[in-house]
């Protein structure tokens, strides 16, 4: 027996669609499933990017090792030198350096030499020199310490990379990735830092903004470019400033690359570390690395990269009171743009020094063991 085209279907097998009620139930179910899955996917994405950051650090570690091998064992850094410590006005002259654009400089000290060397390396790598628009020209900034966030620039030949290569930026550091896109003066107002003409809550001047696209997410430990031992005068060359993240310079000639062989515990000593816990979320939810609630990726001197809870790291010391084993610096984060990171400079309880101010310098231990007693140093 056959069924003609006008015979109604019997049973559910012949139904051609959903009722409105069934469609609504299906959509609601899909939405619920997506909502339940979103946190898992977000966590997987974050973990993937954290792993990518560790890969970056391992590659930077390889470049550091190659640099040291080719440079008599010195840690990569700015190695131009200024006037001798006994020089000065009317004293012995220092070396003169070509910083590009037909300009030569005779730095007054090693800090100024590093500032000029950064400008020269970036001018050479980017071509932002010579006859380019004056607003785009790279200008050495003599008002800051480039060694912290630009320590990778002397490594460009070993990285085989441009100064804006993503290898120097954490995949979760969306702000710095944005900065790498904006290098022309007409884009300055669109920078994540905002209008360069503002003097607070943003970037102080366009010289700073011109350099910032070439910065790194990873900060270099202080004692990779200064001695961790006190001078004969009984002080260290560099100390933390009060209520801030910067350095107080007691000896501007104290900025100089250190030897890798000075590291006594390479598997327990950080060379590079993420300045923020980017996994806490984007924007102002990022925690400064020294916050005990933070957890950041670090590169140890043995080339290994790992993520360590800050509270599990050694607190470090206060270089101004290095004989006091209980003293840690008054380290706070002063934000250069509060739209992206909170300004912690007024917080009542300061952070310890952790990787930045390691007790004992390169001979100290950052994690995996207790602090070394350096009170008699």
Q: Residue 315's domain spans which residues?
A: 47-363
Report yes or no: 141 and 115 within 8 Å, Cβ to Cβ.
Answer: yes
CA angle 70, 74, 79 (to 5 degrees): 95
Structural domain includes residue 170: yes
Structural domain includes residue 25: no
State the pLDDT at residue 134: 72
State the pLDDT at residue 65: 96
Q: Average pLDDT in the 24-39 region?
A: 62
Structural domain includes residue 160: yes
Structural domain includes residue 175: yes
Range from 21-35, 58-72, 234-248 carrying the lowest mean pLDDT:
21-35
Question: On the CB side of 269, how many CA atoms lie within 13 Å of its CA?
Answer: 25
Percent of the chain with pLDDT over 70: 77
State the pLDDT at residue 327: 92
Residue 87 has pLDDT above 60, yes or no: no
Residue 13 has pLDDT above 60, yes or no: no
C-alpha span between 291 and 340 (Å, rounded)? 17
Burial class (CB in 10 A: 0-12, 13-18, 19+), 65: middle
CA angle 304, 305, 307 (to 5 degrees): 140
Structural domain includes residue 26: no
How many other CB atoms are there within 10 angstroms of residue 9's CB atom? 10
Q: List Cα–Cα distances, 342 to 171, 202, 284, 345, in angstroms.
A: 20, 12, 6, 9
Report yes or no: 269 and 358 within 8 Å, Cβ to Cβ.
Answer: yes
Question: On the CB side of 143, how many CA atoms lie within 13 Å of its CA?
Answer: 8
| pLDDT-based confidence at residue 199 (cuts at 50, 70, 90) | very low
Q: Domain count of the chain?
A: 1
Q: pLDDT digits over 235-265, tens only? A: 888 988 876 777 888 999 999 999 999 999 9
Structural domain includes residue 337: yes
Structural domain includes residue 89: yes
- 204 or 313, which is more confident? 313
Q: Average pLDDT in the 296-314 region?
A: 96
Mean pLDDT, all residues of the chain: 82
State the pLDDT at residue 305: 97
C-alpha span between 126 and 138 (Å, rounded)? 9
Whole-structure pTM value:
0.84
Range from 140-144, 152-156, 281-285 carrying the lowest mean pLDDT:
281-285
Structural domain includes residue 369: no
């Amino acid at each position: 027996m056959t069924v003609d085209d006008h015979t109604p279907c019997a049973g559910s097998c012949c139904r051609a669609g959903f009722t409105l009620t069934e469609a609504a139930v299906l959509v609601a179910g899909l939405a619920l499933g997506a909502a339940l899955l979103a946190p898992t996917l977000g966590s997987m994405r974050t973990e993937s990017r954290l792993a990518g950051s560790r890969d970056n650090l391992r590659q930077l570690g390889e470049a550091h090792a190659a640099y040291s091998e080719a440079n008599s064992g010195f840690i990569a850094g700015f190695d131009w030198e200024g006037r001798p410590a006994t020089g000065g006005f009317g004293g012995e002259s220092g070396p003169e350096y070509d910083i590009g654009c037909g300009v030569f400089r005779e730095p007054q000290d090693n800090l100024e030499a590093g500032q000029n060397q950064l400008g020269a390396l970036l001018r050479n790598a980017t071509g932002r020199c010579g006859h380019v628009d004056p607003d785009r020209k790279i200008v050495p900034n003599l008002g800051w310490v480039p060694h912290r966030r630009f320590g990778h620039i002397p490594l460009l030949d070993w990285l085989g990379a441009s100064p804006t290569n993503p290898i120097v930026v954490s995949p979760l550091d969306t702000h710095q990735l944005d900065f790498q896109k904006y290098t022309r003066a007409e884009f300055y107002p669109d920078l994540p830092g905002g209008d360069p003409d503002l003097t607070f809550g943003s970037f102080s001047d366009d010289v700073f903004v011109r350099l910032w696209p070439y910065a790194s997410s990873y900060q270099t430990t202080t004692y990779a470019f200064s001695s961790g031992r006190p001078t004969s005068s009984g002080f260290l060359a560099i100390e933390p400033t009060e209520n801030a993240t910067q350095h107080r310079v007691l000896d501007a000639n104290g900025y100089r690359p250190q030897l890798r062989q000075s590291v006594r515990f390479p598997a327990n000593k950080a060379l590079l570390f993420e300045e923020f816990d980017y996994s806490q979320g984007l924007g102002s939810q990022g925690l400064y690395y020294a916050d005990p609630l933070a957890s950041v990726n670090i590169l140890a001197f043995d080339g290994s990269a790992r993520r360590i809870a800050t509270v599990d790291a050694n607190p470090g010391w206060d270089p101004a009171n290095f004989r006091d084993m209980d003293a840690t610096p008054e380290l706070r984060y002063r934000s250069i743009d509060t739209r992206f990171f909170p300004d912690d400079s007024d917080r009542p309880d300061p952070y310890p020094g952790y990787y930045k101010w390691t007790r004992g310098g390169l001979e100290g231990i950052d994690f995996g063991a207790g602090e070394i007693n350096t009170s008699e140093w």
